[in-house]
Each structure stands twice: as C-alpha cells, then as structure tokens.
Structure 1
Amino acid sequence: MICCLNPDCPHPLNPDGKEFCQTCNSPLVQLLRKRFRVIRVLSDEGGFGRTYLAEDIDKLNERCVIKQLAPKFQESWALSKAMDLFQREAQRLQQLGEHPQIPTLLAYFEENTYLYLVQQFIDGQNLLKELQQKRGYSAKEIREILLDLLPVLRFIHERGVIHRDIKPQNIIRRKIDGRLCLIDFGSSKQLTAKVHIQMGTSIGSHGYSAIEQIRDGKAYPASDLFSLGATCFHLLTGISPFKLWTEHGYAWVQDWQQYLKSPIATELVEVIDKLLAKDVQQRYQSAEQVLKDLMRKQLSDRKTETANSSVILPPTQPPFIPRKYALLRNSFLVGSLVMVIVLGEFFYRQSHNFNFSISSRFGQGDDTSTNNEAILPRSSKLPLGNFYLAHTFKSPSKSVLSVAISPDDKTIVSNSGDSIKLWSLATGQEIITLKGHSDRVNVVSITPDGQTLVSGSEDGTIKLWNLARGQEIRTFAGHRNSVHTLAISPDGSILANGSDDNTIKLWDLTTTQEIHTLNGHTSWVRAIAFSPDQKTLVSGSRDQTIKVWDVTTGREIRTLTGHTQTVTSIAITPDGKTLISGSDDKTIKIWDLTTGKQIRTLTGHSGGVRSVVLSPDGQTLASGSGDKTIKLWNLKTGEAIRTLAGHGDGVQSLAFSQNGNILVSGGFDNTIKIWRVSS
C-alpha cells in the first residue's frame, strides 16, 4: 500500500502501483526525499497537517515517524509562526534527541510545498493505553516512573526547553527494553496555543497543565513538574485530571488524596503534594530537587520502604550517551554481532547498551529471595560460570576509581571527577550528584549503618556526607597530599585514611577528632583495612610493604615484605586470621595475619592487581586488574575459579553486595558493571 500525502484526503491508503490517489486524485509520492516510504496515517494534527508512520529505506526499512506541516490558515502572521515553530521543533529534536529517551531527528525538509520533520519511531504503548489495560498503578510503580522520567526532564530543562504537554499520552514505554520515552515536543501543540492565545486559550492540556500555563501562557521547569505530578495522579487513581479540572478547576489538587483507592507511603504523598502545588513558587523548581527528595525519603524511612515502597524498577535506561559517538559504537557493534552469531551465546539488543561488551538489559526478573535479584533478570544473562554480566552503565568520569554499595544493597556510590554519584543498584539510574571537593575524588566508602558516606580526594581532604539527604556534614583536613584510600571500622566509630604524604590518619567519627597519625611508610599509602575486631589496621604502600598497626596505640606491630611493586589493595577475612594483598606486580598474596607469614601467592593476571575484595562469607575472593578482567578465586584452595571479561580497560574497583549475590566493578573504561550470581 502507498499512502496519499494530501492532508485532507479522507481515505489516504492506495494499492501499490497507483500514480494518483483513488480517493482525492492527488499525485502519489512513492518516496519522500527519495528515502522515506510512507505507510499510513498515525494522527491528524487538526488543521496543521498529519503525522505518518514510514520506512527509511536508507536504514534497512527501519520505521520512523514523519510529521507534515500543512496549515489550513493563510494569515501571514500565523503561517509564518507555524513555519518558525515547526523549524524550532526540528532544532529541539536535533539537540535533545541525543538522549536515549527522546526521539532522534532523522531529517527536516520541504517537498511539494509542505514541510516535513522525520524522527525516530518509538515502538511501544503510551501510559494512557497501559493504564486502560491494567486499571491502575501501585505506589511502587509511580516511584519507578518518577525515577525514570525525572532525569529526562532534567536533561531538557538544562538545555532551556520546556515540554509544556506532559501527560500519559506523551509517555511511551518502549517495547524493546521497557524504558519510558518522552514524545511530542511538538510545534503543533505550542503552535496551536500560540496562534490561539490571541483568542484567549492556553498552552498545554487542561487538567495536566499548571495554572501559569492556563492563565498566563507562561511555562517554567516547575510547570512540567506539575504536569508530571498530574500524570502520576491519573495513573494512581485512574481519574483524568481533565475531568476534575472541568468540574472543580484547580481545587482538586488540594484534595487529590481523597481519590486514592488505597493509602500510599507518606514520603510519596509528600512528593506528589509538592509536584501539584498550585502556586508555582511552592512547587519543586527543578527535577533535581524531586530526585533528591525521592532519594532522601527513600533512605530516611527504610522501614516504610521495606513494607510498602521498595524500589523495583522496570527496564530502564543506561545513562545518556551522546549520539555523536554512535558511528564509532555502531561500527564496533557490527563486528561484535558476527561474534554473537558464531558463539550462539549472546544476542544483540540495542547499541547504546553495548559498552565494549554486550551488556544485558534490565527486564522483569524472576521472583527470588531479594529485591535486587528480582530486578536483575535471568532472561538476558551472559553466562559466566556462577556470575553473569547483568548490566553496564557509563559514568561521566574518565575513570571509575572507587565503587561502594550501601548496606541495604540498593545504592551504588562512585567517584565521578571531582564529584560523587549515587546510582540505583536495581537499574543503573543516576539518583543524585554530590559536589564539594575541589579536585578529583579518589575513594568512597559507606559506614556500616548506611547513614554516612565518606569520600577522599586529590584536594587532600576527607568529606562526610549524610547519605539520605545528600548533604555534606563535615570536612577533615590535615593531609599534605592526595587521599587515596579509606577504611571504616566495623562498628562505624573510627575512620582511617591513607595519603600520598606517606601517612595514615585515624579519626573518631563520633567526636570528629583526630586520634592518631601513623608514620612509617616511605611512599604513598594506597590500601588500608581494619581487622574484624578493629584492634588492628593493615596498610599497603607504594614502598612495596604492608604494615600492621595497633589501632589503640597507633604503633607499628610488624612489616610484611614480598611484593615487588605498589601494594594497591588489602582485604581481611571475616575471622580476622587471613590477610589478602593485591599488587601492581600482578600477584595476590595470602598471609597469616597473626604471624605475618606468607601462605601462598596467586598468579594469573597479566596486569597489575588493582582491587581485591572478599565475598561476605569469606570463601570467594574477587580481584580486578589492569588486564581488563576480574578473577574469582577459591580462597581456601587458591584455585582460580573463573575469569569475568567485559571491561574495555583496567578494572580499578570492586564491591560485593551484603548477600554476596551481586558484584559491582568500576574501571578505567568509564563504566560500572553489575555482575549477578546465576542459579
């Protein structure tokens, strides 16, 4: 079939081979711009043209959406404004379409007196249709939607764009990965409003639009956030805000909770309340503020969250990757896809989830004993013995030097340049960025109670942060050089940090007073760890030695020698009897911590060992190396169990979840990878 492009044609579909429309007799265009084959009408834009589904023959008949501008009005101002806004929409899509949750602009041109805008086709179902099928969303699902969409709004607002028409119809859950995509940045919506403003109408959709849009024709980032709140209300209750607006005006936003079918968690009520504030000044002013509140409320009330609102997200995005790197990435995909077919073990899913390895996409996981296991699906696993690569996401930082997992196994913390980023362990979604250091952050750690985040930096300082609120609490200064390593005592009372000034400092986290400065290393201190009884501290240095210290007195107990290059990482078994050290000499050494005698040396890495970490049960050792691999070892026998490959550069940091079922790795390839135990 061939589709007639006359915007007034009542029956535009015609059999192939026809030169003129059998309904309106207009000439039929086989290919727009000799590239796009129009398949059918998707929607009529009410006097401004139509939107069509088409195929891009230059891209193996990949589907796309074509918007046609064919306004019926002939007033010179209106026509000029229509063309101007249509062009602006193309420019916005060219700018914003770099985000994976916004359609990409493919082409913009004029043909046969009409303007055409071609954009990526999002294959999926909008949330209104989804609502009609499922008849309501849970509070947990609403939180998921907020966490998925708020980073998109932050992205567009930072670029000076206000969507102005957020509602369930303009949010599509993409079939291939379940991610929510924001559509219709449309000139027709803004154009309709602009043209009609002179006739007393407004911008956006009644019920979903903030009062400043309806009354004054003005829109701000806070206006989009009101629309997002109204969308959440609609999905929670199944009641259209348009219907309530028609009956009650804006009075409904003050009493929105009365329409709930069942009570929801207080923290989510507070967030939606602030999203729906009638006064723009009382509303959230940025998407970042909403994300911070969601994170703070999530972490500050774990009891409520565990009972009612644990964050289990549907398939969502990997972090934003600019499309200017797409050609390079896609070229790599072609070669990798051949490998996929040959091996028969992997499958190609989507280019932006391919980060120098094939990363699986988050989907609906099988029911397992923990929330995280339910989120990281078996359906897309990459078999690697007992561990498989569950997800890869990119950090803005050139190198991920340090990763940590919160004790509740919900949050990943990593360095990112001179800032710190918090990510959802379930989805890889960025939650919040903490800024305060003046130079690169080298190391992050979390207190055992999960309340305090500690960071060390090239600026020579250590900062304490309230993890729930994302606020800086205190700064410890005193080192004359970079801080590269941190350790927190098992009871959370003492902080130890090692510096490139060759010293270690111990701090009382209760009083924030310095306890001891440990001198003895002759070069940079790059690794420290407390024994389980916290009576002993062990440190590793660029001077190739390991030192054992008495925490109470600050005195050196003994020095261990054997490594031939920098000791980069240290771990101690849960029983406190065994010490493990990793070194740039490509070896791992096992020591009797009580006697200081070397038990064995583990070899197998072809690059320096940058990180060693023990599983919570103390039976499995994971090591990350400059050779781009992670090795798993049976600590009792010293046997290498398996090798995990996937990083495109050296692996710098590792962390196990509390239950030992998830391993997180960070590397010089700018990625964070989540590995999960398969059953």
Structure 2
Amino acid sequence: MNRFSVQITNVDGLTSQQTQLSQLCGSKQLFRDRYQILGILGRGGFGITFLAKNALLPGNPLCVIKQLCPKASNPQSWQRACDRFEKEAKALGKLGSHSQIPMLLDYFTQNGEFYLVQEYVRGSTLAQEVRRIGPKNEAAIKKFLQELLPVLQYLHKHRVIHRDIKPQNLLCCEDDQRVVLIDFGAVKEELVEACENSINKTPTTNFVGTMGFAPPEQFSLRPVYASDIYALGMTCIYLLTGKGPLEFDYDPNTGEICWQKQVDISDNFAQVLGKMVKIPLAERFKTADDVIKALDQEKYLPNLSNCLATQKLKSKSITQEANQQVYVPPVARTASAIRAWKAKLKETKSLS
C-alpha cells in the first residue's frame, strides 16, 4: 500500500476536468492550505507549470508546482501510474542535493492529477539568452560543457536519464550565473507508459523528448545515457548558431544535420561536437566521462603543436638526458613521440 493507493470513482472524467490551480491563479485562496498560486510559467503536452509561494513558511519562499495530467483510462492503469510516479518522484528527490538540479520539496496526487513541488530558480533559459544577446562563441560553449558534463555524470551515476536536455530546460541562475538543469522527463515517461499501456499491454507510440534534440533511439522508447549526450551536443550547436536542429539541412545518407559550415570553431572541437551528435550509437560518445576526456585532450593539442613547431632536441642534449637521467615533462615526451611518428610516416610515404 503506497501513499497514492486510493479508490478512483470517475477515472474517465479525469482528463477533461478543469484544473484547480488555473482557477486559483492570482487568488488569495491557498492550494493544499499552503500554496498561493501566482501564475503560469509554462504549458506542455504533459501538463502545466505554476509559480507559487509557500504561505506557511517564514518569508513565503517561491516554488514551482508541476501539474502532470495523465490520461488514465481505467482504475488499473491509474494505480500503475501512481506506483510509477512515486518511484520516479523518490528517485528525483535523491538528486536534489546537487546545486545544479532544483530540489524536490514535495509530491502528491489530487483530483486524479500528479503534482511535483520544486525549488524555484530565478533566471532565464539559455534559449532566452540566445534570443536576447545572440549565439555564443567556442570558448563560451566549452565553459558551458565544463559546467554541464559533471551534472550528467551525477545523473547517470544515479541511473537517471534526463531525456529532455535542450536550451529551454537549462536555466542561467540570476544570483550566481550557475547553469541549472530542469524539467526531467523520467517521471513523464513513466506516467505515459503506465497510462497508455492497457491491461493487454498494447504498445504505446508516445515518447518523452523534443523533436530534433532527441536521438532516434529515444523515439523507439529505448533511451540510454548516450541519448543525453546527443541532446547536449544539439544544445551546443543551437547555442553556437541560434538555430534549432530542425532548421538545418540534413545528410540524406546519414540522417545527420549539416551544421559544420554554420559555425566558426576549431577543427578539433568540431570533431568532439560531431561525435556527440552521431546518430549511430556505436559512433557516439557513450558517457559524459568520454566527452570530458576528449575535451581535455583537445585542450592540450595547441601546446603539443607548439612543441612540434618550436622545440628541437639536439643529439647532444639527448645524450645528456640519457646519461644524467634529466626529467622531461609529459607534454615534451608526447611531442617528441609525435615528431618521431610523423617522421616515420613521412619516410613510409616517400618510399611508397
């Protein structure tokens, strides 16, 4: 018996029911005897998001109430949705200790609808920022990835796939400029699956995500950790160009969007982004760790290039190093190895 095990007497009427929170907008009447509803923050296919304040706590702190409206066709699917909702809400609650994920304050059902109450983060979305000040440059995108990839590491470590990473779900906090990831799709996906699948387990065609930002495997209802990598890569391309994925032409052979000529970034960074948005899973970065390692290697490439162009080790100094065991920094050793490899490659080509 869970906290949502209640008898539903009019399941068919739940989907057409007028939402109580919409009626309370701007009113002094409290929702659940504590929340004053200030207004609507957004609407989507799965429900409505409201801005509210807790009238019982000192200072009346602001919060966000997400109202999810499942289409339960019978008591069995409703109970299944309740079980899934509680499971995913608890998982979401465990993530709230991270500074870049809004804290879950409460969750409950009322009148056949599900509610999540979360911390309110004051700020603007990255989509709003791009519309206001224009696209970002390579340095800004690298900084953005340095902030977001550890968040993905944290989520995936807790076995959570976000499922809906996009500029509209990334907030730049007004207070300290940190980037916050909002609107997790896991709870929505579980509710859709529980409600749409009948007792006979008819396959559902609904998916959670956003066209263009979601990779193909997500449309097949088989998201993996690399699905979040794909969406993050598409978000980077949007931030660089100001264009959504559906605004680009695409390669008819691979199905991938043609974005490379629309950006002014280094070849090495373009390769990293390109691997993030590969359609075949076998060719895409598997984890956030893989992307971080690739970016770290890319960061040192200019230094290695300088070593190759300007540092020439004389045979005498090499002999001294061998005899005296002089310490050689790792970057210099790597540069030396690359020079030797290039010389050998050049010699092989000349012989052929």
TM-score by length of 1: 0.39
Match status 1:188 vs 2:188: yes
Gaps of 5+ in 2: 1-16, 198-202, 312-320, 331-352
For 2:92 and 2:305, how far apart are their aligned partners in 1? 41
Indicate how the Cα distance of structure 1 residues 130 and 14 shifts in structure 2: closer, same or farther if over 3 A, else same: closer
Measured after TM superposition, the shift of residue 288 of structure 1 is 1.1
CA contact (8 A) 1:51 1:68 kept: yes
For 1:143 and 1:196, how far apart are their aligned partners in 2? 40
Q: In structure 2, the residue corresponding to 1:65 is in which secondary structure?
A: strand
> Which residue pairs with 2:50 in the alignment?
52
1:372-387 to 2 correspondence within 5 Å?
none
The equivalent position to 1:242 in structure 2, one of 241, 246, 265, is 246
> Which residue pairs with 1:164 in the alignment?
163
Q: In structure 2, the residue corresponding to 1:204 is in which secondary structure?
A: coil
> Which residue pairs with 2:256 in the alignment?
253
Indicate how the Cα distance of structure 1 residues 119 and 14 shifts in structure 2: closer, same or farther if over 3 A, else same: closer
1:317-356 to 2 correspondence within 5 Å?
none
The equivalent position to 1:7 in structure 2, one of 16, 19, 23, is 19
After TM superposition, the runs of 4+ consecutive aligned structure 1 residues lying more than 6 A away are 247-250
> Which residue pairs with 2:5 in the alignment?
none
The equivalent position to 1:213 in structure 2, one of 200, 204, 218, is 218
> Which residue pairs with 2:7 in the alignment?
none
RCO higher in 1 or 2 (8 Å CA, sep ≥ 6)?
2
One-letter code aligned to 1:240: G
The equivalent position to 2:326 in structure 1, one of 508, 512, 523, is 508
CA contact (8 A) 1:45 1:188 kept: no
User: Residue deviations 1:187-215, cap 9 Å, x none?
Assistant: 2255347756834343421211111112x
> Which residue pairs with 2:301 in the alignment?
300
For 1:45 and 1:278, how far apart are their aligned partners in 2? 27
Indicate how the Cα distance of structure 1 residues 60 and 244 shifts in structure 2: closer, same or farther if over 3 A, else same: same
**Larger relative helix fraction:** 2
> Which residue pairs with 2:136 in the alignment?
137
1:108-127 to 2 correspondence within 5 Å?
108-111=107-110, 114-127=113-126
1:564-579 to 2 correspondence within 5 Å?
none
1:4-153 to 2 correspondence within 5 Å?
6-7=18-19, 12-16=24-28, 29-32=29-32, 34-46=33-45, 48-56=46-54, 57-111=56-110, 114-153=113-152
Indicate how the Cα distance of structure 1 residues 14 and 273 shifts in structure 2: closer, same or farther if over 3 A, else same: closer
For 2:329 and 2:24, how far apart are their aligned partners in 1? 77
Q: Percent identity?
A: 32
For 1:268 and 1:303, how far apart are their aligned partners in 2? 16
> Which residue pairs with 1:554 in the alignment?
none
Indicate how the Cα distance of structure 1 residues 6 and 184 shifts in structure 2: closer, same or farther if over 3 A, else same: same
Deviates more, 1:219-228 or 1:108-117: 108-117
Measured after TM superposition, the shift of residue 290 of structure 1 is 0.8
Q: In structure 1, the residue corresponding to 2:205 is in which secondary structure?
A: coil
CA contact (8 A) 1:105 1:120 kept: yes
Measured after TM superposition, the shift of residue 274 of structure 1 is 0.8
> Which residue pairs with 1:283 in the alignment?
284
Measured after TM superposition, the shift of residue 75 of structure 1 is 3.2
Indicate how the Cα distance of structure 1 residues 243 and 138 shifts in structure 2: closer, same or farther if over 3 A, else same: same
For 1:92 and 1:36, how far apart are their aligned partners in 2? 24
Q: In structure 2, the residue corresponding to 1:140 is in which secondary structure?
A: helix
Q: In structure 1, the residue corresponding to 2:188 is in which secondary structure?
A: helix
One-letter code aligned to 2:42: S
CA contact (8 A) 1:253 1:278 kept: yes
Match status 1:231 vs 2:235: yes
For 2:329 and 2:243, how far apart are their aligned partners in 1? 53
For 2:245 and 2:252, how far apart are their aligned partners in 1? 10
CA contact (8 A) 1:207 1:243 kept: no
For 2:63 and 2:329, how far apart are their aligned partners in 1? 62
CA contact (8 A) 2:251 2:258 kept: no
One-letter code aligned to 2:73: Q
Indicate how the Cα distance of structure 1 residues 276 and 15 shifts in structure 2: closer, same or farther if over 3 A, else same: closer
RMSD of equivalent CA atoms: 3.2
For 1:109 and 1:228, how far apart are their aligned partners in 2? 31
Measured after TM superposition, the shift of residue 125 of structure 1 is 0.8
CA contact (8 A) 1:7 1:50 kept: no
Measured after TM superposition, the shift of residue 303 of structure 1 is 8.6
Measured after TM superposition, the shift of residue 127 of structure 1 is 1.0
For 2:170 and 2:189, how far apart are their aligned partners in 1? 15
CA contact (8 A) 1:123 1:175 kept: yes
One-letter code aligned to 1:13: C
Indicate how the Cα distance of structure 1 residues 257 and 78 shifts in structure 2: closer, same or farther if over 3 A, else same: farther
Measured after TM superposition, the shift of residue 37 of structure 1 is 2.3
CA contact (8 A) 1:265 1:304 kept: no
Measured after TM superposition, the shift of residue 253 of structure 1 is 2.6
One-letter code aligned to 1:85: R
Structure number, greater radius of gyration:
1
Indicate how the Cα distance of structure 1 residues 52 and 203 shifts in structure 2: closer, same or farther if over 3 A, else same: closer
1:513-532 to 2 correspondence within 5 Å?
none
One-letter code aligned to 1:161: V
Measured after TM superposition, the shift of residue 265 of structure 1 is 1.1
**Larger relative strand fraction:** 1
For 2:26 and 2:162, how far apart are their aligned partners in 1? 36
For 1:288 and 1:511, how far apart are their aligned partners in 2? 25
One-letter code aligned to 1:191: L
Measured after TM superposition, the shift of residue 64 of structure 1 is 0.8
Q: In structure 2, the residue corresponding to 1:66 is in which secondary structure?
A: strand
Q: In structure 1, the residue corresponding to 2:256 is in which secondary structure?
A: helix
Gaps of 5+ in 1: 17-28, 306-448, 450-492, 495-505, 513-679
For 2:192 and 2:284, how far apart are their aligned partners in 1? 27
Measured after TM superposition, the shift of residue 166 of structure 1 is 0.7
For 1:81 and 1:287, how far apart are their aligned partners in 2? 33
The equivalent position to 1:222 in structure 2, one of 226, 230, 238, is 226
For 1:283 and 1:276, how far apart are their aligned partners in 2? 7
CA contact (8 A) 2:65 2:116 kept: yes
CA contact (8 A) 1:69 1:86 kept: no
One-letter code aligned to 1:149: L
User: Residue deviations 1:251-304, cap 9 Å, x none?
Assistant: 4636320333xx211221011011011111111111111111111111221499
Q: In structure 1, the residue corresponding to 2:57 is in which secondary structure?
A: helix
For 1:102 and 1:201, how far apart are their aligned partners in 2? 26
Measured after TM superposition, the shift of residue 226 of structure 1 is 0.5
Q: In structure 2, the residue corresponding to 1:184 is in which secondary structure?
A: coil
Task: Report the count of equivalent residues.
Answer: 293
Q: In structure 2, the residue corresponding to 1:107 is in which secondary structure?
A: strand
